[in-house]
């Protein structure tokens, strides 16, 4: 959805945690805080792909 949006918002426990352009908001540390899951952000064919970290 982020490729179709000018701005996005991440909500945690009913409160906006971050709002802005996807390049600013979709960062590992913010996503890990909001969703409680460690993630990797990879580039694939010009797109950012967010995947959970595996052990």
How many domains, in total, are found in the chain?
A: 1
Half-sphere exposure of 54 (CA within 13 A, CB side): 1
Angle at 10 between CA 9 and CA 11, to 5 degrees: 115
Mean pLDDT of 38-55: 92
Range of the structural domain that residue 11 is part of: 2-52
pLDDT tens column, 5-15: 899 999 999 99
The β-bridge relationship of strands 15-20 and 39-44 is: unpaired
CB 25 within 8 A of CB 12: no
Q: pLDDT averaged over the chain?
A: 92
What pTM does this model have? 0.81
> How far apart, in Å, are the Cα atoms of 21 and each of 4, 54, 55?
11, 27, 30
Structure tokens at 55: 């052990």
Q: How confident is the model at residue 3 (pLDDT cuts 50, 70, 90)?
A: confident
């Amino acid at each position: 959805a982020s490729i179709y949006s000018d701005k996005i918002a991440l909500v945690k426990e009913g409160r906006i945690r971050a709002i802005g352009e996807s390049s600013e908001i979709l960062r590992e540390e913010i996503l890990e805080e909001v969703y409680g899951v460690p993630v990797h952000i990879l580039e694939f064919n010009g797109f950012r792909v967010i995947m959970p970290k595996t052990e």
